[in-house]
């Protein structure tokens, strides 16, 4: 495990040379296939990307197209997990380059439904239907060292070796992980010598030092909170002292309201993290743990090998550099649910207190639950895609839909995508689940069901899921149901639900009916039902 922290030091402190990056021996076998469709060389990027991919726990096989200015996409491998369009737009003369590339990408989107990453060298522009990676920040950083025209005949690209290293770093740590793997959901931070310099129990509230570097680290964590990430504390301190610290230290960018869970006591950090996963209702693999004590990190990783970690350093600028480039924290697009998520988790604590003092029926009635089922909601495609690619625990068949896939399914006559939104008297949870179902003669095939972890455990799981399935069958005018389910590494909660409620629908279609308790919850259907 300490090798992981050695890799952290190699990448973020050693500042390795290009040759050291090239000589690095990867520890991961290729489990993903990425096609590079190009008209100039990408190989210089690939040669230096291995340590960054290892830090991201990614093994990638890069497949190359021929050099193709025409963007014919001939013999394109549609089974690739990602396509990277690596284009030198300066090669095009006397044409409207933006119009040309837009039309070619529109054609590609009809054939390829997964993510497409567009990296243009030369012109700066965005194209709908792809994720655009801008080289402008690297150009500004390197200035005169951004291009190397003298070496173009040998390297196959106008980009300099320094530029290619910068690109490999950013792709390997940020863009490739977020496009190929689920994003992280929460960050757990130690306090002493991590968020500030000093030890709270020894130096006191006023004695701990907020260096400029620690202030920048806290500022960045606060930005991540605003992007919808959970922020939690796991500290060996007295809880009252911790609360007093954040109430009294007005110079701290982070305040007590920024934290979703505070685990401050003298028990093990592993137990703190276990409690955090239970409160947030998320898998430990969705958490990033930051601590300055290497022993604490190793102990936690021994118990939870899937957890993500950062070894915080005395120089907090190093910790910030790791955090700001940590795989799984990049968000390509923000939506309303990013804002709602933290509020909803805080409301969950009140719900838990209510459920402890009321009967199940009194609890549900007291919440005033409203479910909104949206039929093929095109305005929510982005949120549906995000949820499909970050849900791990309650997902039926691991269909990691992209926005293009969802859009196409919505246009299929016999397919139905039903998004589930929920609100109650305590909070608006936003879109918390999705049903993907299609009609096959007289049978409804449930292709996928995925539900946000924060919506589970309120005593509403059966009403939400079975109720949505019932409404889906009614919209398709069907009564028979068959459920597709794949047992995976983390979706045990979904497996338990299927075993309990849907087991007989897995192998053979059967008549399905569920009586939604309208006396307990309000259910609203939105969207055009005339096409179903």
Give per-residue pLDDT as tens, 231-245: 999 999 999 999 999
pLDDT at position 528: 65
Give per-residue pLDDT as tens, 475-513: 999 999 999 999 987 888 999 999 999 999 998 999 999
Q: Which two tokens stand for residue 189?
A: 């931070």
pLDDT at position 458: 78
Q: Round to whole Å and give the CA distance between 47 and 165.
A: 9
Q: Which two tokens stand for residue 63?
A: 């497949």
Nearest residue to 325 via CA among 195, 166, 133, 162: 166
Nearest residue to 386 via CA among 431, 352, 319, 347: 431
Name 114's Cβ contacts closer than 8 Å, sequence gap at least 6.
Answer: 80, 81, 82, 83, 402, 404, 405
Q: Residue written as tokens 């794949």?
A: 486
- Whether 1 has a pLDDT exceeding 90, the answer reads no
Give per-residue pLDDT as tens, 345-379: 777 778 877 888 888 888 888 889 999 999 999 99
Mean pLDDT for the stretch of residues 115-143: 92
- Whether 531 has a pLDDT exceeding 60, the answer reads no
Domains along the chain with CATH numbers: 14-180 (3.40.50.1110), 186-324 (3.40.50.1000), 339-526 (3.40.630.30)
Give per-residue pLDDT as tens, 426-465: 888 889 999 999 999 999 999 999 998 878 877 889 999 9
Parallel, antiparallel or unpaired: strands 370-375 and 522-526: parallel
- Whether 2 has a pLDDT exceeding 60, the answer reads no
- Whether 208 has a pLDDT exceeding 70, the answer reads yes
Contact of 454 with 280, CB cutoff 8 Å: yes
What percentage of residues in the chain have a pLDDT greater than 70? 97
pLDDT at position 139: 96
pLDDT at position 530: 47
Nearest residue to 394 via CA among 420, 364, 346, 433: 433
Q: Which two tokens stand for residue 272?
A: 């703190």
Contact of 213 with 253, CB cutoff 8 Å: no
pLDDT at position 337: 66
Mean pLDDT for the stretch of residues 43-56: 97
pLDDT band at residue 263 under the 50/70/90 scheme: very high
Mean pLDDT for the stretch of residues 389-417: 90
Q: Round to whole Å and give the CA distance between 23 and 174.
A: 22
């Amino acid at each position: 495990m300490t090798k992981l922290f050695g890799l952290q030091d190699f990448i973020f402190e050693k500042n390795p040379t290009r040759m050291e990056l090239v000589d690095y021996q990867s520890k991961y076998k290729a489990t993903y296939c990425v096609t590079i469709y190009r008209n100039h060389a990408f190989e210089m990027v690939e040669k230096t990307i291995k340590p960054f991919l290892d830090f991201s726990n990614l093994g990638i096989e890069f497949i190359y197209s021929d050099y193709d200015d025409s963007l014919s996409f001939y013999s394109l491998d549609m089974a690739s997990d990602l396509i990277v369009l690596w284009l030198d737009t300066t090669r095009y003369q006397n044409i409207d380059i933006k119009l040309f590339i837009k039309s070619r990408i529109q054609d590609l989107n009809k054939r390829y439904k997964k993510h497409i990453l567009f990296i243009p060298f030369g012109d700066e522009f965005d194209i709908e239907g792809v994720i655009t990676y801008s080289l402008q920040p690297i150009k500004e950083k390197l200035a005169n060292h951004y291009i190397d025209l003298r070496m173009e005949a040998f390297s196959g690209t106008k980009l300099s070796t320094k530029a290619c290293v910068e690109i490999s770093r950013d792709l390997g740590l940020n863009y490739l992980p977020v496009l190929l793997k689920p994003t992280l959901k929460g960050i757990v931070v130690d306090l002493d010598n991590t968020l500030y310099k000093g030890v709270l129990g020894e130096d006191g509230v006023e004695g701990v030092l907020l260096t400029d570097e620690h202030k920048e680290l806290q500022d960045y964590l606060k930005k991540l909170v605003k992007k919808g990430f959970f922020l939690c504390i796991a500290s060996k301190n007295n809880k009252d002292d911790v609360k007093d610290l954040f109430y009294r230290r007005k110079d701290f960018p982070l305040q007590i309201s920024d934290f979703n869970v505070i685990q401050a006591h003298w028990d093990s950090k592993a137990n703190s993290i276990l409690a955090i996963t239970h409160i947030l209702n998320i898998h430990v693999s969705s958490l990033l743990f930051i601590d300055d004590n290497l022993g604490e990190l190793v102990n936690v990783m021994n118990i939870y090998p899937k957890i993500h970690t950062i070894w915080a350093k005395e120089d907090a600028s190093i910790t910030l550099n790791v955090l700001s480039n940590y795989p799984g924290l990049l968000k390509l697009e923000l939506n309303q649910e990013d804002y709602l998520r933290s509020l909803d988790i805080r409301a969950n604590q009140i719900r838990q207190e209510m459920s402890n003092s009321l009967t199940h029926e009194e609890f549900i009635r007291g919440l005033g639950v409203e479910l909104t089922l949206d039929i093929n909601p095109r305005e929510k495609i982005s949120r549906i895609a995000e949820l499909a690619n970050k849900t791990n625990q309650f997902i039926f068949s691991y269909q990691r839909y992209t926005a293009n896939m969802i859009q196409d399914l919505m246009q299929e006559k016999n397919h139905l995508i039903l998004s589930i939104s929920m609100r109650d008297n305590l909070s608006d949870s936003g879109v918390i689940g999705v049903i993907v179902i299609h009609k096959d003669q007289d049978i409804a095939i449930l292709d996928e069901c995925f539900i946000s972890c924060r919506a589970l455990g309120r005593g509403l799981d059966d009403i939400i899921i079975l109720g949505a399935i019932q409404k889906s069958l009614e919209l398709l005018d069907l009564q028979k149901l068959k459920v597709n389910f794949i047992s995976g590494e983390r979706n045990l909660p979904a497996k338990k639900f299927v075993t309990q409620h849907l087991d007989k629908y897995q192998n053979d279609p059967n008549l399905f009916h569920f009586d939604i308790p309208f006396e307990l919850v309000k259910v609203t259907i939105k969207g055009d039902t005339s096409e179903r």
